[in-house]
Chains A and B, each alone.
Chain A
Amino acid sequence: MSRNASNNILDRPLGFRATPAGRSSDVSSVSLSAFAYVYSELVQYHQGRAASISELERRLESAGYGVGLKVLECVAYRGKEMKRETRLMSILHFVSSSVWKSLFGKSADSLERSIDNQDEFMIVDYEPITSTFVSVPQDLGQLSADAYVSGIIAGVLDGAGFSARVTAHNVQVEEGENSRPPTNATPGMPRRTEKAVFLVKFSPEVLERDATLER
């Protein structure tokens, strides 16, 4: 069978599905449910092969890492300016706004610098989609179901030349801290009590380089 020209991935616009000529389709979204099922299976698959909680997290991170590398290419390519971020703060803004918007349809809720450690930054999301429907059982303790997202962040940063260790943490939301109405979940689902904090710890050489550029 001959390969249909419009079905060849190299002949299509980036990120468009194979469709016969003349058919246009909304390629931008699937239902959150569909994503949740696939992600749930991804977690179950890795859980079956991981011996410990930290190994499960590491496996999810490495699954996200590859995705992050690809996402960086896509988002950078589509960006209006077509430029490469070289500074620490601008790459962090790039991640928490551009990358976040393209993956989750909104910016991250906040980007903070750690007070204690100069090399640590925090990206906060009140409703990360990876844990929308997840209740972590007690015997899995501190497991963060958002480890996959931290892997994506690490992939994006690493691909851009900012190697960093990124970890996901669940943090209790303080009373009145997040006043926005919940957007992500089905109506009738309770407001989330925990937010995801993605802790980004850059490698020393990245900080050194940034300090040099500062001058």
Chain B
Amino acid sequence: MATSKCSQAGQQLWAKMPKVGGYTRLCFAWSVIGFLVHTNSSYRITHQANAELFALTYGSLVTELVRDHEDPIEVNKQLDKIGKSIGVRCVDEFLAKADVAGLGLASQCQSLRDTAEVVARMGFRMFLGVGAECGAFSQDQKSFSIYFHDNPLSTFVELPPAGDDQMGDDLRKLKYSNIYCGIIRGALEQVNLKVDVTLVQCTLKGDEVNEIRVELKEVLADGAGDDYKEE
């Protein structure tokens, strides 16, 4: 399967990363910036909420969806939709606060690669307090993966195991953290990048890592995306 190859490549890349000089420094810089944004008071995303309350609140939303829609495929769709609604809103907070913090994202997001770095290293750190990496760029530089180990949404969650016959069979199709896909899709659409996002690996399904695949479909007209067209 193509996706699993990509993810393997991603993991290898990740494993090798510390050995590469210039790139390491870049990665390190991004991590530091992300960490500062998350913790430093002058960067103003200081206020925290309890991670368990967060996980349980998301859980109550998912259970409500499962109750209302029954079909897990439909629930996945709804989660994606809800995520999009969050994405189109949170991107403004991200831009506004990065701007006040003097990070000047405009000059940094010149290519999809930069955008990937910003989403993975800053976005995840800033909102969720977890580190994420990006990698597995495709040949044409139009798709990449985001990898992260800690998933704050699934703290208390276990999906029904395979072979469980009381409706568990059904719920295995549930992509519990599918909201991430919508969030990334919504957020990037607001800055004129139309992307397809899928959750390809999930620790809840027994995978080693969570992997989100992002694929650039088109750069929407409206001027702001001119940079990308040129490449």
- In the bound assembly, the distance between CA atoms of A39 and B51 in angstroms comes to 13
B101 CB to closest chain A CB (Å) equals 13
CB–CB B49/A129 < 8 A: yes
Determine whether B47 belongs to the interface, using a CB cutoff of 8 Å to chain A: yes
A38 and B56: CB pair below 8 A?
no
B139 at the interface (CB under 8 A from A): no
The residue on B at minimum CB distance from A35 is: B49
Set A18, A32, A70: member contacting B56, Cβ < 8 A: A70
A39 CA / B82 CA spacing, docked (Å): 11
B86 to chain A, nearest CB (A): 4
Nearest to A18 among chain B residues (CB) is B203
Contact present for B128 and A186 (CB under 8 Å): no
Q: Mark A68-112, 1 if CB is under 8 A from B, else 0.
A: 001100100000000000000000000000000011110000000
Closest residue of B by beta carbon distance from A132: B47
Indicate if A66 sits at the interface (CB-CB under 8 A).
yes
What does DSSP make chain A's interface, helix, strand, loop or mixed?
A: helix
Would A39 and B57 count as touching, CB distance under 8 A? yes
Chain A residues within an 8 Å CB radius of B102: none
A181 to B112, CA, bound (A): 43
- Docked complex Cα distance between A129 and B57 (Å): 13
Given A9-B158, A29-B49, A35 contacting B54 (CB threshold 8 A): yes
Is B48's CB under 8 angstroms from A19's CB? Answer: no
Q: How far is the CA of A151 from the CA of B127 in the complex (A)?
A: 26
A41 touching B206 by the CB < 8 A rule?
A: no
The range of chain B's interface size is: 35 or more
Minimum Cβ distance to chain A for residue B226 (Å): 30
Give the chain A neighbours of B57 by CB distance below 8 A.
Answer: 35, 38-39, 42, 67, 148
Contact B206 A2 (CB under 8 A): yes
B30 contacts the other chain (Cβ, under 8 Å)? no
Q: How far is the CB of A103 from chain B (nearest CB, A)?
A: 5
- Tell me, rounded to whole Å, the shortest Cβ–Cβ distance linking B71 to chain A: 17
Given contacts A33-B93, A38-B58, A39-B57, contact A105 B50 (CB under 8 A): yes
Answer yes or no: A213 CB below 8 A from chain B CBs.
no
Contact status A29-B82, CB under 8 Å: no
8 Å CB interface, B30-80 against A = 38, 44-45, 47-54, 56-61, 63-65, 68
- Inter-chain contact B38/A28, CB cutoff 8 Å: no
B165 to chain A, nearest CB (A): 19
Contact in complex: A34, B49 (CB < 8 Å): yes
B206 touches A3 (CB 8 A): yes
Chain A positions 111 through 122: 1 when the CB is less than 8 Å from some CB of chain B, otherwise 0: 000000000000
12 more contacts with CB within 8 A, not counting A1-B206, A40-B86, are A2-B206, A4-B206, A9-B158, A17-B150, A29-B50, A30-B54, A33-B127, A35-B53, A36-B49, A38-B54, A41-B85, A63-B61
B-side interface residues toward A, CB under 8 Å? 38, 44-45, 47-54, 56-61, 63-65, 68, 82, 85-86, 89-90, 93, 126-130, 149-152, 154-158, 161, 203-208
